[in-house]
Chain A
Amino acid sequence: MRGTEHLARFVVKGRTVWMAYFKDGVLKSPVPDVPKMKGFVGCWAETELGDSDVTVEAVYRPVRVTYVQYDGSSVSLDWDAPAPEPFPFEGCEASWRRFDVGTHDLEVKAEYRGPAFVVRFMADGKQVAMEECRKGERPALPPVPEKRGYRGGWPAVVPCARRIKVHAEYVPLRMRFVTGIGKSVCIDYGPDWKERAPPVPARKGFTGGWAVGPEDGMEVILKPLYVKGKPSKGPDVSGVLVFDRDMVEKALEDLDFVAEVWCSTDREPQAPEYTINDVSDTGSATGWDGFASSLSAVEKGYLESCLEGRIESEDFLRKQGMLRLAVESAINAAAEDMIGDPIVLDGEIDKDYEADLREMLKDGS
């Protein structure tokens, strides 16, 4: 003890967690925080700092949860006490908002979940997105589909109370035609804009058209573009160089159709079949395994003999009474279907596939 100073012991459940000196009722160092205990709110017990050493005990009480009803009335209970029933509304599911118990008191409100409504987002007559909302909720807005020549947005959507369709709204972009230095003519975009566009300023010996320039979301700028002489038969130098995105989309769809219909990779082998001995049907039909199972025993034997050398393959063909080109064309037709490339030509196995082939034939799969 130093002079008139006394010692204060801060104790939690019998254990001293902090000590501090005090003199004349004033602590020399700050009061420490009460150690936290989950589910309880703690504080130091009020203790008089007198003329002798003191013990300051930590006091804990359970966390209290205040349950607030929809009308503001509330009731506070220990967190582990049974919660009161939230006020019921007909047709709605009521519950208290979920909470985690910590070391502080809490306030919890009742949640009411009404029936779900479907909100459909439409653009140009087509549904582009769909959102499910509870009564009173606002749906999340999807991105507005782009429309060439227009600026789009969704109208303000009120909290949901019924099934609704929200239609995208499009405002035509302004088209600014630069007709000279500091001069321009503006029109609103529309399918007939070409008819409404001002004439391209004439330039001797050149044919002009309007070239679409950058747009800033509100306005698109078109400047004259000239090509020498008369317009040619080409599709895109005759004047305005504008691309119709719908047409591009259609061209890509048509291309997909062609690629799908005429794609050779997923077709069955069409080469003539000939089977001298039994055809092995074992093995799974993927990659090389599929390839192996598509070959007849004779074809496999031929490939094995080719891997040994030309003389061996000739011997093999002679013994089997087979002809080289015929066997190879059937093998290659199968190979093209399975791996996309022919693999044997005039008794020579393609080097890229030699190792794979050896392994495949060794496995006998």
Chain B
Amino acid sequence: MAAKIGKKTAAMIVKALASGVVPSRGAEQIAVGRRDEVSAFESDFQGVSDGDGAFRFIIGEYGSGKTFMTRLVRARAADLGFVVMNADLTPSNRLRGSNGEGIRTYRQLIASTSFKGMMEGGAAEALVQSWLVKLKSDVAEELGCKPSDVTVREMETQIRDGTSAMSHLPFYSDFLKVVVKYYVRMNGGHDVSEAMRWLNGECNSITDSKETVGVASCVKDDNWYDFLKLWAQFAVSAGYQGLVVLIDQADVLLKTAPAARNSNYETLLAMYNDVVQSHGRPIAVYVCGTVEFLEDEAKGLYCYGALKTRIEDVRFEKSRDTYSGPVIRLKRLTAEEQEALLLKILEIHQIAEEYESPITQDMVEDYLRSVASGPRPVSPRMLSRDFIGLLDVLHAFPDTDFRSLIAERKLDDDVGQTFS
């Protein structure tokens, strides 16, 4: 039986689709044609919870729903108890660069930290806090006292014990020192922004770090992924299932200079190897890009031999749908899937507006024939948006003739998000 859609969720979905954005809640209600992909992600999440990291490239043409998919994954991961981080690559935010491009991506990831209850981002500090609270309550329970009576020394010991599972990771001792520092200052009612500055990757140099928090390391272009691993393990210590990292707009790497591109692909390879080969890494990484980003032999991932051999479809997978490999290819919706999407939107619109629409399935098909007669395929985003506009008009003006409304209806071409 289908999950029931509430009026509030329905209204939220309609509002978001009418604005051309992915709904922050209820996106799964319109995830047409993504059953296999959803199963693949579900299996990834299960694997990460069990200690097997996941690394996938989500590949699709513009308008195939990559951004939609990442939103869906983000919401689902948070719902399952993962900490989620996401970032869009841009010319100034890449995986690696000579002018702090990698650090900026790291900062973007940290700034976007979300988990259930705090889905608007900016939850990295809450993660640290929730972990400290948990730890403090454990200590209080153990000692049979109030949390406010737990001493700093007792907490320091507990913080060290509580993070012992990540002690093998690079920069662990510095990370630990900063967390302790955070706690001490917080407990004393002092400003904690310096500790958070270091954790957020905002210390620009080792000197800056020493002055700020007294440790001789900082997040750099070539080590930010090590810090991400710390966060992943830290999330587990704080009671979460692990960390899910979503990196969108990877096509930007196609437009960088060859040397810069190679160093970025090198970082991707290092991340890929680390996630796939290391057992017990509670992290899932998803990188989204177009087919060109993946397959372009001159500029895409396939130009980097070491990556190509790892992610290329094996011979018998070609032209078949497989979801066990590192690449998930998002297909464009078929005409029937588009119809199913519109029928679902029609249902949601009726729930949101509490009315009964006179639109039949035949009319939906007529509408699709009308909009599909343009020179280019229409993306689900434009289709949904336009259809909701149509429903709004028919709801507000019931006497309007449906056929005259859809006659020669033209939708603007939509090529998804672009970057310069």
Q: Which A residues contact B (CB, under 8 angstroms)?
A: 211-212, 225, 227-229, 232-237, 241, 243-245, 247-248, 250-252, 254-267, 269-276, 318-336, 340, 342
Contacts and interface: CB of A to CB of B under 8 A. Distances in A.
Interface of B: 1-3, 6, 8-9, 25, 28-35, 38, 42, 61, 72, 75-76, 79-81, 115-119, 123, 125-126, 129-134, 136-137, 140, 146-150, 186-187, 189, 238-241, 332-341, 343-344, 361, 365, 368-369, 372-378
A270 B375 contact: no
A197 to B, nearest CB: 17
Contacts of B3: 256, 259-260, 263, 265-266
B133 A241 contact: no
Given A236-B338, A319-B148, A262 B28 contact: yes
A282 to B, nearest CB: 21
Contacts of A211: 369
A247 to B, nearest CB: 4
15 contacts: A212-B369, A234-B372, A241-B335, A241-B372, A251-B340, A255-B35, A256-B1, A266-B3, A272-B131, A272-B240, A321-B149, A321-B150, A323-B133, A323-B186, A326-B133
A333 B114 CA distance: 12
Contacts of B35: 254-255, 257-258
With most chain A CB atoms within 10 A of its CB, the pick from B125, B238, B240, B369 is B369
Given A255-B35, A321-B187, A333-B115, 15 more contacts: A235-B334, A241-B335, A252-B32, A255-B31, A261-B38, A263-B3, A263-B28, A271-B130, A321-B147, A321-B148, A323-B186, A325-B126, A326-B129, A329-B123, A329-B130
Contacts of A229: 375
Q: Which 3 A-B pairs have the closest CB atoms?
A: A234-B377, A272-B239, A270-B81
B2 to A, nearest CB: 4
B414 to A, nearest CB: 12
A322 B344 CA distance: 45
A261 B42 contact: yes
A234 B187 CA distance: 60
B241 to A, nearest CB: 8
Given A247-B336, A264-B79, A276-B140, A225 B117 contact: no
Contacts of A241: 335, 368-369, 372-373
A321 B376 contact: no
A212 B134 CA distance: 64
B31 A274 contact: no
B117 A336 contact: yes
Given A255-B344, A328-B126, A271 B375 contact: no
Contacts of B241: 270
Contacts of A326: 126, 129-134
Nearest to A314: B189
B373 A225 contact: yes
A232 B130 contact: no
Contact of B374 (A237, A257, A321, A332): A237
Given A234-B378, A272-B239, A327 B133 contact: yes
Nearest to A264: B79
A237 B81 CA distance: 43
Given A234-B332, A272-B238, A264 B25 contact: yes
A248 B372 contact: no
Nearest to B241: A270
B332 to A, nearest CB: 6
B377 A233 contact: yes
B387 to A, nearest CB: 14
Contact of A340 (B25, B239, B335, B337): B25
Nearest to B3: A263
Contacts of B336: 243-244, 247-248, 250-251
A265 B13 CA distance: 15
Contacts of A255: 2, 29-33, 35, 340, 344
A162 to B, nearest CB: 37
Nearest to A340: B8
A329 B9 contact: no
Contact of B117 (A236, A252, A333): A333
Nearest to A332: B117
A260 B1 contact: yes
Contacts of B61: 233
Contacts of B361: 245, 248
A256 B116 contact: no
A272 B147 contact: no
Contact of B116 (A259, A263, A336): A336
A153 B258 CA distance: 68
With most chain A CB atoms within 10 A of its CB, the pick from B76, B115, B118, B341 is B118
A19 B379 CA distance: 91
A273 B134 CA distance: 8
